[in-house]
Amino acid sequence: MEKRTISFEVNDRHMYMTVPVNRTLLEMLRDDIGLTGTKEGCDEGECGACTVIMDGKAIHSCCTLAVEADGRTIITIEGLQHDDMLDPIQQAFVDAGAVQCGYCTPGMILSAKALLDVNSTPSEEDIRTAIEGNICRCTGYERIVQAISLASDYLNGK
């Protein structure tokens, strides 16, 4: 299998990796780098559990080739916490009781981050659109929507 060497940044860390071209970004993150916070839920872009942020945009890492990350910046769930301090979005998910089984949570938080990074005061509709591709089977989304709204308050110093 043809391999390529790529260079990219993941969670503020610059990396070089040599990967086969049929490797997905999800497989590289989980199996090669050990960032298992990113989950596989469907492997066909229908559940959002594998969501990561690439160059500022939420994407499905299961439907992205690892080689597509060449020269790009990736943020995974492991990149949010700084010095034991939760990111305000993570803190809001804890505070709002938005976590149940937790399998959708990393992808959900990254979709929220991609939204809040460009829109710090989203409407409920904006929030629901931002997470429309992230399936949660436990919470009914209510507390997740509340958590993202709360995160926006935290980020705005409220």
By three-state DSSP, how is residue 15 classified?
strand
Nearer to other proteins, 118 or 153 (CB): 118
CB 27 to other proteins: min, Å: 7
Contact between 81 and 99 (Cβ < 8 Å): no
CB 47 to other proteins: min, Å: 6
Nearer to other proteins, 17 or 130 (CB): 130
Nearer to other proteins, 41 or 152 (CB): 41
Name the residue type at position 47: C
20-37 burial code (b ≥16 CB/10 A, e <16): eeebbbbbbbbeebebeb
Nearer to other proteins, 47 or 158 (CB): 47
CB 83 to other proteins: min, Å: 13
Nearer to other proteins, 8 or 48 (CB): 48
Element (DSSP H or E) covering residue 142: helix 142-155
Phi, psi of 17 (to 5 degrees): -135, 145
Alpha-carbon distance 97 to 143, whole Å?
6
CB 154 to other proteins: min, Å: 13
Contact between 89 and 109 (Cβ < 8 Å): yes
CB 87 to other proteins: min, Å: 8
